[in-house]
Structure 1
Amino acid sequence: MTPTSVQAMAPKLPSPKIFLEWPVIRQLRSGDVFGRGPAVTSKQTRAITPRTTTADRVVQSVCPYCAVGCGQRVFVKDEKVVAIEGDPDSPISRGRLCPKGSASEQLVNSPGRQLEVLYRAPRATEWQRLELDTAIDMVADRFLESRRHTWQDIDKKGNLLRRTMGIAALGGATLDNEENYLIKKLFTAAGAIQIENQARI
């Protein structure tokens, strides 16, 4: 075997310039012992502009999924939600979000989001699309009609009742204390006595 062939078989070491660009070397040279600075980022990473830096404003909110109530920071640009992340100022979640909470931006911007109410009339076979305001008015009319038809002033013995058995309320775990308070006041004022919430289960 000739010296030339031995030299050709020897592994080629990286040039000093490439060696100095290794992330660990950049980290040690910059004094970034814990690897949290720009020394550990690549050129591609540095070229990326986070959506949060271009937002017009940041709005504090609460995750809508479960009863924990994790805090969220909602980034808005041109009146459109561009990103949602955990709120580090929240005493409940301290900046953390579960996978569902982290993906809650899709609740707003998903192309599959339903923006109209689907209504199927009694004995109908087809769905009808309604505006939200129209559907709310229909619910309110049915609420008042049920209350009127099932209202009880007194029982057979003459005891005062002032109630309706035709209306009930069932709250979900995502409702906060203030919302539950208002729901309780509304249905009690309407005479409903069947008021329940998932939080008690």
Structure 2
Amino acid sequence: MKTWLDAWPVFRQLTGPDPLGRGKAARSKATEEVVSRTATADKVVQTVCPFCAVGCGQRVFVKDEQIVQIEGDPDSPISRGRLCPKGSATKQLVTSPSRVTTVKYRRPHGTEWEDLDLDTAMEMIADRVLDARRKGWQDEVDGHKVNRTLGIASLGGATLDNEENYLMKKLYSAMGAVQIENQARI
């Protein structure tokens, strides 16, 4: 017959076959019921860490369309499953309750910042890009057809990976911009 002492790990360690407490003696009922977050995930998405230009591979574990865990991708030839402290904290970047979800905007000649929702801010940016493109458009220069705008330029950051830089180059070139550079090349 089991007593209350049998449920106490120290008693099991002292009286049982596991005196060092590295096996069954150290395990409680709660420990036996623990399941890792990765085991309960519906799907695993492979991605790249967003923090720097190294491009460490990550596995994002998703359950019910919510991120439950982010870990290093052992299949990544760059990081081989390892992440730096920033990469290890990526889940907090996405799921933190203190994450900023609005855009701060200060109107021209304004003195106060106001919060805008992302859709409104994106519409404002799109309108300004199109206006700058239209105002800076050149069909010809010195009799040579150029079809370009000098009203838009792009300077990519070091956190962008090759694919993102490729897409930015294609986007800005399609808009007629010629001043396209990446910080990694400067």
Normalising TM by the smaller chain, what interval?
A: 0.7 to 0.9
SS in 2 for 1:170: strand
Q: Please show how residues 59-138 of structure 1 align to structure 2 within 5 Å.
A: 59-138=45-124
Kept in 1: contact 2:73–2:80 (CA 8 A): yes
SS in 2 for 1:163: strand
d(CA) in 2 for partners of 1:64, 1:40: 41
The CA RMSD measured in Å over matched residues stands at 2.4
Identify if the C-alpha distance between structure 1 residues 115 and 177 changes in structure 2 by more than 3 Å, giving closer, same or farther: same
d(CA) in 2 for partners of 1:86, 1:41: 32
Q: Please show how residues 19-30 of structure 1 align to structure 2 within 5 Å.
A: 20-23=18-21
Deviations 1:50-83 (A, max 9, x none): 2222223222121111111111111122221121
Find runs of 4+ consecutive structure 1 residues off by over 3 angstroms. 39-42, 44-49
Q: Tell me which amino acid in the other structure corresponds to 1:125.
A: T
2:160 to 171, 175, 178: 175
SS in 2 for 1:125: coil
Q: Name the counterpart of 1:32.
A: none
d(CA) in 1 for partners of 2:26, 2:157: 46
Structure 2 gap segments, 5+ residues each: 1-12
d(CA) in 1 for partners of 2:152, 2:178: 8
Does the alignment pair 1:189 with 2:163?
no
Q: Tell me which amino acid in the other structure corresponds to 2:144.
A: N
Q: Name the counterpart of 2:151.
A: 166
d(CA) in 1 for partners of 2:73, 2:80: 6
1:50 to 26, 36, 43: 36
Deviation of 1:16 after TM superposition, in Å, equals 6.4
TM-score (norm: length of structure 1): 0.75
Deviation of 1:139 after TM superposition, in Å, equals 0.7
Q: Tell me which amino acid in the other structure corresponds to 1:167.
A: I
1:17 to 7, 15, 18: 15
- Taking only the aligned residue pairs, the percentage that are identical comes to 63
TM-score (norm: length of structure 2): 0.81
d(CA) in 2 for partners of 1:140, 1:178: 22
Could you say which structure has the larger radius of gyration?
Answer: 1
Structure 1 gap segments, 5+ residues each: 1-14, 27-38
d(CA) in 2 for partners of 1:75, 1:21: 38
